Structure 1
Amino acid sequence: MSDLLTVAKLAGVSRATAARAFSDPQLLRPDTLEKVLAASAQLGFRPNHIARQLRTQHSTTFGVLLPSLLNPVFSLQLQAMERRARDAGYGLLVATSDYQPEREAAIVEHMLRQRVAGLVLTVADADNSAVLPTLEEAALPFVLAHNVPQQASWPAVCVDNRAAMREATQQLLTLGHRQIAMVAGPMLQSDRARLRYQGYCDALQQAATPPLPVIEMASHTAACFDRLAPLLQGATPLTAVICTNDLLAISLMGDAARAGVAVPQQLSIMGFDGIDIGTRLAPSLASVAQPAGELGHHAIEMLLHPVSRGLRVLPHQLRNGASIAAPAFIATPGNPHETA
């Protein structure tokens, strides 16, 4: 197995110069750096970054804690983070909590033992998280992604979840819907979902329309249409549903089609996240679009430049789609099925 001294001899440089090619390449002349790298490639030499990290106490790895990679919004975020980190000379150590708050502490402890230089994480509940005080006590730089702390000043990058859901609900109200429900995954696993429900309530209360309780599903990625079906009957049937993420909305659209419920003629469905696959459906999915790639880029940028930390709120957009339309009828006290 080759070592650094063998590389230095083949390249015709000192061992210190060869070491500098891997630790501080910008300090070498281009022709010298090229000779060292060529010798390294020829010999199949790989520098031991872990040993160097232990010697210098400087890590070139950022930790990333995500709830899941099943939702493309997190995958796009991760891709953008990897690109920005790589450009800055860092790699990523990635773990997922599967939306389980109890797993977060074990993952963060593992990250700390791996001596990561900083951490980007999405937790279940930022204001009641047990891991964030631990990170602060360890003096490890961290940035929350998607979480919006309400009671603490943790550094975070996000969209305004409450305002975004309020605007999305207002769009359904403008179309003429009054019986609107919100579908979410387990609420205790997502402070973002709770903020979105507040936005939903804001819009309905402003329209003098009573909000409905959250229709809570067992999963964040798959909905159960049976929970919805009874609400489509009666004098004031449900005419629109807004989901806390696109995967729930897509799941409902498929279930509705199999149940013979036409979207949007009988039921308008709106999502949240703006993932690309929603535009490829028929009907296409209306959604609140989050800038997932931009969010990931900013999260790493905030780790690299501590002065830029704080709360960074990114813009969202309402993405039009054929999954929402005016209700086929408007219920009135005299005639619950009066044609619009």
Structure 2
Amino acid sequence: MPRNTGPGASHHAAGAASTLHDVAELAGTSIATVSRALNQPEKLRRETLERVREAMRELQFRPNLIGRQLRGERTCLVGVVLPDMLNPVFGECLQGIEESAAQGAYRVLLTTTGYDSAREEQVIETLLSQRVDGLILTVARAQEHPLLARLAAAAVPYQLVYNHCESHPCVSVDNRAAARELVTELVLLGHRRIGMLSGSRAASDRATQRHQGYCDAMRAAGLAARAPLEIDFHQRRLPTDMLAALRDPRRRPTALFCGNDFLALLVMRELREAGMRVPEDISVVGFDGLSFGELLSPPLATVCQPHRQLGSTAWSHLQHVLEGGAPRSSVLAHRLRIDGTVAPPSFRPRPE
């Protein structure tokens, strides 16, 4: 059992982050023994190893996994961090990563964050504890992300995918430009009352950039941008007051730009259940380009992203760094799919 070292041990257990020295003192071992417990546990006697691990638990010790990563040998593992796997766009991206990584004899370890920024550091440390050679990540807000700065400072290879910012290596489309182009198409069709439904902008910098593109298009047309209707990414029903506003012909927009295709599908279902029709009563557009959107009736108008190519390009850039090259960024082309969920605001259904 670890020996009690008095007030100092209890202070570390409840207060500041503990160090190797603190663990060694509480376990009654040398710092070298604690280091061996972390890096070469098989070389310690069972009793010694358990004593060190118990001290770590008591002190809530968290090893510097980033630093350890630099000293390890290659494992041919790459860690991937994505928001979730419920949205098919991330499945397509992962397929692009896996197919490309397999050509270089790499394997992929996947973790998801559920759009919870607080989980990001936890899952990244979990991957580093598995001694991955590098990371491919989609994070909440890349520009000011503290852990990315730590990875960069420690020279841990990483590559962002879907995030679009200048301060980190990224592979993405230009979310702001794509949203501006899509909303401009609505303006050209004659829409003047255009609203936006967004996922949580605090959980996704892509949502923020798409809202900026919406505002750009509205300002360029001399129109007032409405405050976005914002809901959680996990929500599967529209809030009652939001649905009531969309049902009210005096308040509702003639067109609604949804920040991703899932939100567009959610809106279309809710409107249909409320007795409204798309695009007869309101035009709806999305963002992502889910392939099954073309199979809907009517087909979903949206921005199409090359998800599989985003994944394969992210791997290519990460592999370049693993082989000694400098970090790289790419902005891939998007395309608009103006389809059946969009019509001029004066559109009326044909008599049945």
Give the TM-score, by structure 1 length: 0.77
User: What are structure 2's unaligned runs of at least 5 residues?
Assistant: 1-68
Structure 1 counterpart of 2:112: 96
Structure 2 counterpart of 1:202: 216
Structure 2 counterpart of 1:242: 257
State whether structure 2 residue 307 is matched by structure 1 residue 292. yes
On the 8 A contact 2:72/2:131 being kept in 1, the answer is: no
Give the count of matched residue pairs: 276
Residue 132 to residue 91, structure 1, CA distance change in 2 (3 Å): same
1:179 to 182, 190, 193: 193
Which whole-Å deviations, capped at 9, do the CAs of 1:151-181 have from their partners, x for residues lacking one?
x2x1000000000000000011111111111
Report deviation, 1:191.
0.4
1:268 to 283, 303, 309: 283
Report deviation, 1:236.
5.6
Which whole-Å deviations, capped at 9, do the CAs of 1:286-332 have from their partners, x for residues lacking one?
010000000000000001112363220000000121011111379xx
1:163 to 177, 180, 192: 177
Q: Given residue 328 of structure 1, which amino acid in structure 2 is its aligned partner?
A: S
Pairwise mapping of residues 129-168 of structure 1 onto structure 2 (< 5 A)?
129-150=145-166, 152=167, 154-168=168-182
State whether structure 2 residue 273 is matched by structure 1 residue 258. yes
Cα RMSD, aligned residues only: 2.1
More displaced 10-residue stretch of structure 1: 199-208 or 300-309? 300-309
Which SS does the other structure have where 2:124 is aligned? helix
More displaced 10-residue stretch of structure 1: 91-100 or 230-239? 230-239
Structure 2 counterpart of 1:65: 81
Report deviation, 1:58.
1.1
Which whole-Å deviations, capped at 9, do the CAs of 1:94-146 have from their partners, x for residues lacking one?
00000000000001111111111110000000012122022123321000111
Report deviation, 1:267.
0.7
- Distance in 1 between residues matched to 2:234 and 2:158, nearest whole Å: 25
On the 8 A contact 1:66/1:97 being kept in 2, the answer is: yes
User: What are structure 1's unaligned runs of at least 5 residues?
Assistant: 1-52, 331-340
Residue 221 to residue 84, structure 1, CA distance change in 2 (3 Å): farther
Which whole-Å deviations, capped at 9, do the CAs of 1:50-104 have from their partners, x for residues lacking one?
xxx9x97112000000001111110000011000000111000100000000000
Which SS does the other structure have where 2:256 is aligned? strand
Identity %: 41
Which SS does the other structure have where 1:325 is aligned? coil
Which SS does the other structure have where 2:171 is aligned? strand
Q: Given residue 315 of structure 1, which amino acid in structure 2 is its aligned partner?
A: A
Structure 1 counterpart of 2:226: 212
Which SS does the other structure have where 1:187 is aligned? coil
Q: Given residue 302 of structure 2, which amino acid in structure 1 is its aligned partner?
A: S
Give the TM-score, by structure 2 length: 0.75
- Distance in 2 between residues matched to 1:266 and 1:131, nearest whole Å: 46
On the 8 A contact 1:232/1:238 being kept in 2, the answer is: no
- Distance in 1 between residues matched to 2:84 and 2:141, nearest whole Å: 15
Residue 233 to residue 304, structure 1, CA distance change in 2 (3 Å): same
